[in-house]
Amino acid sequence: MLSVRDAEAIIFDAVQPLHQPQDIELVDLCTANQRILATPVTSGLDFPHWDNSAMDGYAVRYEDVHNASVENPVVLEIVAEIPAGYQPQVTIKLGQAARIFTGAVMPNGADTVIMQEKTRREANRVLINTAPQPQEFVRHQGDFYQAGSQLLPVGIGLQAPEIAILAAAQCDRINVFRRPRVAILSSGDELVTPAQTLKPGQIVDSNQYALAALVKQLGAEVLMLGIVKDDQNNLQKAIAEAVSQADIVISSGGVSVGEYDYIQQILLSLGAKIHFQAVQMHPGKPLTFATFGNVLYFGLPGNPVSALVTFWRFVQPAIHKLSGIAAGWEAKFLRVLADDELTSNGKMETYIWGKLHLIDGVYKFHKAGGNYSSGNLINLAQTNALAVLPVGKTQVCVGEEVLVLLT
Ligand SMILES: Nc1nc2c(c(=O)[nH]1)N[C@H]1C(S)=C(S)[C@@H](COP(=O)(O)OP(=O)(O)OC[C@H]3O[C@@H](n4cnc5c(N)ncnc54)[C@H](O)[C@@H]3O)O[C@H]1N2
Ligand code: MOO
Ligand SMILES: [Mg+2]
């Protein structure tokens, strides 16, 4: 059976990131949070824009004060006061200083700032009682960034630091990649919406809601296509429609070996390339992955836990890669300590759902309580991680290290 690692490689290989010119849209800086930058940003401004003071204090000439001490303070005449926001009009000459504030432009002539705490003011004179380093507390023009070089590269996620940089560079409209479009459908005669009255044999289509929530969290656009009965014609129409509208189609149910598990058959009849129909993992073994050109199709198993585990392990990284992010789309694992014994039959890569607790700065993994079944969605509540036991590993003891995938 195909290993999880090989399945992941096949999926990543099939993902074509949204890098075409038609995939770029212009957004306002205020709505750019969490979007992916689509064109590089440069600025015509140096950062800092001009030499400025890093402290509230006095702008001086180093040569005047390099021998100053508490015993032999240097006395300078204050010839100007320079608040932030103003261009100084003076040149500091030998024996002179300017009162200056943090962020204010350095006056000509001065090259060093003495912080206020190391001085004593006497009317229009200041006593300097410390010898500074040359150019101390001066933030020089271009120290942080030089005009014309690349400020931000394509393919980075925009978060608070990048948004601040864009604002500072006066980019108030930004090119970002459009959000991936993800269509979700559920298949099964037993499924009804939460608003419908349940008849004997029926259950609510909970997968649709869980998957939509996860897709939205990733910043993608969700098309909820609803429930499709286990009828080949309906299913064929629904899948064809989904493929025509989306970059990624996710269905849940109908991928196992039962009489009414039609998904693979329909994918073939619609001309999809089926890459695999089973992965050596539990839960999630019947995961099906296919492509229609650049459109990715994930046929997730219907069991509620299997649907979510396969989403977290494979669909989430695929959405990340598709969204245009330049690096780091892979599933991320943490090494933590097991706080419960974890077991597997050793034949499948096994994903155990539970909760990470931070205890004295160390993450510890607790297996979810209750009935442990891929059909049980109840004990998924308040979990935040999946512990992973590789093939061949049948037991992780309490206190032993284990890899976990954050969910
Ligand atoms: N003979 C075999 N039977 C099964 C195998 C197998 O290897 N041989 N694999 C089992 C495994 S593992 C899984 S996982 C499931 C996968 O089943 P399907 O993907 O075909 O899904 P369904 O049969 O449609 O449903 C399974 C289960 O999940 C419930 N379900 C389905 N859709 C939803 C939904 N949208 N919301 C909530 N719950 C849903 C459905 O009612 C079933 O209980 O197959 C095993 N069988
Ligand atoms: O592996 Mo299935 O995915 O147990 O329920
Ligand atoms: Mg089935």
Q: Which residues of the chain have pLDDT under 70?
A: none
Residue 75, in any domain of the structure = yes
DSSP H or E run through 208:
helix 206-217
Tell me: do 207 and 268 sit in the same domain. yes
| 164 Cα to the center of ligand 3, angstroms | 50
Q: Which of 322, 345, 372 is the last residue of a domain?
A: 322
Residue 373 Cα, ligand 2 centroid: separation in angstroms?
8
Indicate if ligand 2 lies below 6 Å from the C-beta of 253.
no
d(CA 286, CA 310): 10
Residue 272 counted as domain residue: yes
Q: Do the beta carbons of residue 97 and residue 60 sit within 8 Å?
A: yes
Taking the CA of 255 as reference, the closest ligand is: 1
Residue 296 and residue 183 share a domain: yes
Beta bridge pairs of residue 57: 100, 115
CA-based end-to-end distance of the chain: 25
Is residue 38 within 8 A of residue 324, CB to CB? The reply is yes
**Residues 368 and 388 occupy one common structural domain:** yes
The whole-angstrom separation of Cα 138 and Cα 57 is: 11
Q: Which atom of ligand 1 is nearest to the CA of 299?
A: 19
350 beta partners: 282, 389
Q: 3-class DSSP state for residue 39? A: coil
Ligand lying closest to the C-alpha of residue 283: 2
Pocket of ligand 1 (CB under 6 A): 186, 188, 190-191, 203, 205-208, 252-258, 261, 283, 285-286, 301-304, 306, 374-375
Burial of 320 (0-12, 13-18, 19+ CB in 10 A): buried
The predicted structure's pLDDT at residue 76: 98
Mutation to probe ligand 1, out of 1, 303, 309, 372 (largest number of atoms < 8 A from CB): 303
- Pairing relation of β-strands 96-100 and 74-82? parallel
Residues 226, 151 share a domain: no
Q: What is the pLDDT of residue 129?
A: 94
Residue nearest to atom 31 of ligand 1 (CA): 302
Backbone torsion region of residue 80, taken as left when φ is above 0, otherwise alpha when ψ lies between -120 and 50, otherwise beta: beta
CATH of the domain at 162: 3.90.105.10
pLDDT at 260: 81
What's residue 159's pLDDT? 97
CATH of the domain at 212: 3.40.980.10
Structural tokens at position 148: 């014309």
Does residue 192 sit in helix, strand or coil? strand
According to DSSP, residue 7 is labeled H
Are 153 and 298 within one domain?
no
In the 3-class helix/strand/coil scheme, how is 61-113 assigned residue by residue? CHHHHCCCCCCCCEEEEEEEEECCCCCCCCECCCCEEEEECCCCECCECCCEE
Do residues 120 and 172 both lie within one domain?
A: no
Return the residue whose CA atom lies nearest to atom 12 of ligand 1: 285
Instruction: With CA atoms as reference, report the closest residue to 244 among 315, 183, 177.
Output: 183
Residue 327 within a domain? no
Residues 255 and 169 in one domain: no
Atom 27 in ligand 1: residue holding the nearest Cα: 303
Domain identity same for 248 and 227: yes
Domain boundary pick from 87, 119, 139: 139
Residue 208 CB–ligand 2 contact under 6 Å: no
Q: Which two three-digit tokens encode residue 99?
A: 């009162």
Q: DSSP secondary structure string, 351-398?
A: EEEEEEEEETTEEEEEE--S---TT--GGGTT--EEEEE-TT--EE-T
Give the closest ligand to the alpha carbon of residue 350: 2
φ/ψ (deg, to 5) at 3? -75, 160
What ipTM was predicted for this assembly? 0.98
Ligand 1 nearest-atom number relative to CA 374: 14
Residues 62 and 36 in one domain: no
Site to probe by mutation for ligand 2, drawn from 4, 252, 300, 303 as the one with most ligand atoms within 8 Å of Cβ, is 303
Ligand nearest to the CA of 348: 2
Same domain for 211 and 95, yes or no, is no
Expressed as residue numbers, the domain containing 347 is: 333-406
Name which residue sits closest to atom 26 of ligand 1, judged by CA: 302
Q: Which backbone phi and psi does 319 adopt, to 5 degrees?
A: -65, -40
Same domain, 153 and 241: no
Number of domains the chain contains? 4
pLDDT at 257: 84
What's the pLDDT at 258? 85
